[in-house]
Amino acid sequence: MTSIDIQPLDENLSFGAKVAGVTSDLLKDDAVRAQLNQLFEDRGVVVFKGVEQTPEMQVAISTVFGPLKDHPVPSVERADEDKLLGVIAIAAGPEACVVEIEGKPLVTWQPWHFDHAYNNELNRAGVLRSLIIAKDGGRTAFADGIQIYNDMDPAIRDKAEGLSLLLNLDLRYGRQRFGLPETFRVLREHTSTLSQDNENGRCSVHPALWTRKTGEKVFHMTPYGCRGIVGDRSDAAIERLSEIWDEAMRAIKPYYHEWEQNDMVLWDNWRVLHHATGCNPEEKRIVHRTTIKGDYGLGRWEDEPKVAETA
């Protein structure tokens, strides 16, 4: 049986791998499944090249790494017409916000974040495939929380020790309290009521730093939907978060994925931050995502008791 071909994503990055030759038959092989799981643990991001573009294949790749999880937000569009659990569609609908960065209007832009941050549980991973690729923009960026932690100035990084973030979902990016690009402005606000409902609602709590079983410390913050820190939503708390975030953005060494036909991308949601660069609002872009179940055990709801600091 032929096997898969594994290469580093980029020689200059501490994370990421590129895999070619994956077929649905090979995915039934226990040795290949074990090899892919080890690669995922070691490298955090796996780009699959030349894979069959069907929902069945997306689910087959995803379930190598764990069972699928349905999306926690009922209003998010499900793409699984044939009832394959948990395939969601990411596209710019009429309610989508349009932002501007460096004078360029963008849809489907998203700041650096980890998925389900607004939930007490953090899904293990996600798999993306791009059904309609935007010609102008539409890249997906990934960054390694271990690399960010290691490369931050320790004097500033220490301020993130023991910090617990308050997070909930707010698609109105202009209301983000820190971490927006300097030239950012909102051209058209997101119009769903979900964000308004959340504004004074219940938050999830996640640590800004955490330690993997393998010993590495991970920087794991997002300004997306961040309301403050536990017990403190003041401007002073936001200033502290902003200083830490700006240092992380100075240290960050991201990978920008330029989508090609027949790609799928897997990332470790406990370790890797991701960001959508957005695309020209005149263009159509459709991405499907699966969500792989699991939990690192460090999140909780704001009104629930605290859990241990390591997983």
Residues forming the site for Fe ion (CB under 5 A): 115
Give min distance, CB of 68 to Fe ion, in A: 16
Pick the closest to residue 91 from 292, 281, 290, 265 (CA basis): 281
Letter string b/e over residues 117-136, b meaning 16 or more CB atoms within 10 A of that residue's CB = bbbbbbbbbbbbbbbebbee
Give min distance, CB of 137 to Fe ion, in A: 16
Query: Which C-beta is closer to Fe ion: that of 115 or that of 263?
Result: 115
Query: Which C-beta is closer to Fe ion: that of 240 or that of 271?
Result: 271
Give min distance, CB of 4 to Fe ion, in A: 26
Give the span between the Cα atoms of 240 and 228, in whole angstroms: 9
Long-range contacts of range 19-24, CB-CB < 8 Å, 24 or more positions apart? Answer: 19/46, 19/47, 19/48, 19/49, 20/48, 20/49, 20/50, 21/50, 22/48, 22/50, 22/51, 22/61, 23/51, 23/52, 24/52, 24/56, 24/57, 24/60
Query: Which C-beta is closer to Fe ion: that of 145 or that of 240?
Result: 145
Secondary structure of residue 259 in the 3-state scheme: coil
Give min distance, CB of 156 to Fe ion, in A: 26
Angstrom distances, CA of residue 267 to CA of 6, 73, 93, 240, 260: 16, 21, 25, 29, 17
Pick the closest to residue 270 from 307, 298, 302 (CA basis): 298
Give min distance, CB of 144 to Fe ion, in A: 16
Give the span between the Cα atoms of 139 and 127, in whole angstroms: 15
Query: Which C-beta is closer to Fe ion: that of 115 or that of 144?
Result: 115
Query: Which C-beta is closer to Fe ion: that of 170 or that of 237?
Result: 170
Query: Which C-beta is closer to Fe ion: that of 115 or that of 170?
Result: 115
Give min distance, CB of 110 to Fe ion, in A: 6
Give min distance, CB of 128 to Fe ion, in A: 9
Instruction: Return the residue nearest Fe ion (CB atom).
Output: 115
Query: Which C-beta is closer to Fe ion: that of 117 or that of 237?
Result: 117
45-49/17-20 β-pairing: parallel
One-letter amino acid of 10: D
Secondary structure of residue 172 in the 3-state scheme: coil
